[in-house]
Amino acid sequence: MFDSIHEECGVFGIFENKTSDVAASAYFGLYALQHRGQESCGITVCDDGIFRHKRADGLVSEVFTKEAIAKLGSGNMAVGHVRYSTTGGNDHNNIQPLVIRHIKGNMALVHNGNLVNAAELRRSFEMSGAIFHGTSDTEAIAYTIVRERLTSSSTDQAVERAMPFIKGAYSCILMTATKLIAFRDPDGFRPLCIGKTHDGAYVVASESCALETVGAEFIRDISAGEIVVITREGMRSITTNCGKERNICIFEYIYFARPDSVIEGVSVHHARQCAGRLLAKNSHVDADIVIGVPDSGLDAALGYSNESGIPYGIGFIKNKYIGRSFIQPEQHQRENAVKIKLNVIRETVAGKRVIMIDDSIVRGTTSARIVRLLRDAGAKEVHVRISSPPFLHSCYFGTDIDSEENLIAGKCSSTEEIAQFIGADSLAYLPVDCLGELIGNRFGCCKGCFTGEYPVDVTGAGSKNKFDEKIHK
């Protein structure tokens, strides 16, 4: 219904030295990561080597009722996943955790990111007789690890051997009968961190906000190219020779992550405020009020207000109860659908020159509807400011920016033309060369969707639905 950008998923894992209610811990952890994926979710519990799992379409609160959590039972380990399908479509077989039973034992895998060589890996395994049940990249990762496990002394050694064959973005948690193994790709495209509770349980999650939800204290981020192995003896790290400079997706800070998360030592809240300040410095305009589009535009709007001296106001109220089951309207009903999700506070904007801050413009249709809402509420002028550069290229690492021909910044010849399309009095984006300032220029970041320059070779990566296209020919 809305042409917004979506992330792929969030991952969570917990290791206890005793039998406990790890399913409930995973539930709370996934609840904190719900913003990263709202199509499906799943939890797998390990109880003395026995795996029990539940996976289904829906939000965490819909899938994991009190009865469902009780059926998972107690154990000493659990992994969980929330998903938005950037690769693999909404096939039930693609819902994670992916549980694999092979000759060396059972394992459950959760994965955030996209591979650029998944099709190549899949083809190789299929030619050897492998049967794939779904169409996600995660199965290719699982097969690669299992192949290496057949000739390795341990699963963590198999992961280390598998990593050079897996190209692209992957922040993963792997659970065996005795271990919890977390590993991250050599570029560190997607976040992954580790914490510890007061009673000694280790927790791994996509974002630090999930650690806090289960009472775990943040220890550190897992490094790019690192493998962390957690057993009853404690935690140890394997530094692979494939690690290199971090290239985390900059959109984690602009949009994906929760504002109370800290990633690679950088507060997401502060990064968004920084984006707003930079917008004010680079694209000032005289106005009466600054407002943000909920949710990720709010912090940037506050930053813009602080830098410009123009008062900050609450311009929109977001309906937080729509959820994934909201009926998709017909084309002629979509204008009213926007009003269901967002309502303007008329008293904030009526008769005023308004600066509206949002995180991005994709196709432009939603931005146009939101600008129209402000006009209808009596806004005298609407100046749109975007806390990211214009999207010009596809993403191959776990964001559903896919078809360049559908991106308005690629179709329009100028920013002024885009402003005219969305009905704004003016439009300005955050300059590309300002992106490093959001993270204090402390490490590298991937900005390929803005520049077309990617940290890894994406030749042959294909579209996000590459496997579905192959199957349905």
Alpha-carbon distance 179 to 49, whole Å? 10
Whether residue 343 sits in one domain with residue 446: yes
Mean pLDDT on 76-97: 82
pLDDT at 324: 44
Q: How many helices (H) and strands (E) does the chain have?
A: 18, 23
Whether residue 66 sits in one domain with residue 202: yes
Whether residue 328 sits in one domain with residue 200: no
Query: pLDDT category, 92, cuts 50, 70, 90?
Result: confident
Its domain, for residue 337, covers: 270-451
Alpha-carbon distance 357 to 355, whole Å? 7
pLDDT at 2: 42
| Residue 15 falls inside a structural domain | yes
| Residue 172 falls inside a structural domain | yes
% residues pLDDT > 90 (the chain): 79
Q: Which residue has the higher pLDDT, 329 or 275?
A: 275
For 211-257, what is each residue's pLDDT tens digit? 999 999 999 999 999 999 999 999 999 988 765 678 999 999 999 99
Alpha-carbon distance 207 to 43, whole Å? 17
Q: Which of 1-5, 360-364, 386-390 has the lowest mean pLDDT?
A: 1-5
Helix H segments across 150-232? 155-162, 208-213
Mean pLDDT on 378-404: 91
Cβ-in-10-Å burial (0-12, 13-18, 19+) of 200 comes to exposed
Return the CATH number at 143: 3.60.20.10
Residues 6+ apart with CB under 8 A from 459: none
| Residue 469 falls inside a structural domain | no
For 274-308, what is each residue's pLDDT tens digit? 999 999 999 999 999 999 999 889 999 999 999 99
pLDDT at 220: 97
In angstroms, how far is CA 424 from the centroid of its own chain?
A: 29
Residues 60, 82 contacting (CB under 8 angstroms): yes
270 backbone φψ class: left, alpha, beta (φ>0; ψ -120 to 50) = alpha
If one counts every other C-beta atom within 10 angstroms of the C-beta of residue 157, the result is 16
Token pair listed for 88: 């693999």
pLDDT at 246: 82
% residues pLDDT > 70 (the chain): 90
Is the pLDDT assigned to residue 325 strictly greater than 80?
no
Is the pLDDT assigned to residue 193 strictly greater than 80?
yes
Is the pLDDT assigned to residue 35 strictly greater than 70?
yes
DSSP 409-461: HHHSSSHHHHHHHHT-SEEEE--GGGHHHHTTT-SEEE-HHHHS--SS--TT-
For 52-69, what is each residue's pLDDT tens digit? 999 999 999 999 999 999
Whether residue 298 sits in one domain with residue 234: no
Is the pLDDT assigned to residue 425 strictly greater than 80?
yes
Q: Which residue has the higher pLDDT, 462 or 406?
A: 406
Alpha-carbon distance 183 to 238, whole Å? 9
Is the pLDDT assigned to residue 74 strictly greater than 90?
yes
pLDDT at 405: 81
Q: Which of 58-62, 68-72, 260-264, 336-340 has the lowest mean pLDDT?
A: 336-340
Predicted model pTM:
0.91
Residues 6+ apart with CB under 8 A from 197: 203, 214, 215, 216, 217
Q: Produce one character per residue of 340-376: b if its CB has 16 or more CB atoms within 10 Å, e if not.
A: ebbebeeebbeebbbbbbbbbbbbbbbbbbbbbbbbe
Whether residue 318 sits in one domain with residue 378: yes
Mean pLDDT on 369-374: 96
Q: Which of 9, 395, 434, 449 is catalytic?
A: 9
| Residue 468 falls inside a structural domain | no
Q: Which residue has the higher pLDDT, 312 or 413?
A: 312
Whether residue 84 sits in one domain with residue 137: yes
For residue 361, give the nearest of 407, 400, 314, 430 by alpha carbon: 407
Alpha-carbon distance 430 to 279, whole Å? 6
| Residue 384 falls inside a structural domain | yes
| Residue 1 falls inside a structural domain | no
Whether residue 278 sits in one domain with residue 236: no
Is 9 among the catalytic positions?
yes
pLDDT at 69: 97
- Give me the chain's average pLDDT, please: 90
Is the pLDDT assigned to residue 327 strictly greater than 50?
no
CA geometry: angle 413, 416, 418, nearest 5 deg: 70
Whether residue 209 sits in one domain with residue 61: yes
Alpha-carbon distance 45 to 307, whole Å? 49
| Residue 304 falls inside a structural domain | yes
Whether residue 306 sits in one domain with residue 442: yes
pLDDT at 305: 98
Whether residue 304 sits in one domain with residue 361: yes
Domain count, the chain: 2
| Residue 228 falls inside a structural domain | yes
pLDDT at 190: 96
Is the pLDDT assigned to residue 472 strictly greater than 50?
no
pLDDT at 260: 97
pLDDT at 121: 92
Whether residue 220 sits in one domain with residue 284: no
Mean pLDDT on 338-358: 92
Q: Which residue has the higher pLDDT, 149 or 131?
A: 149
Type of residue found at 281 = K
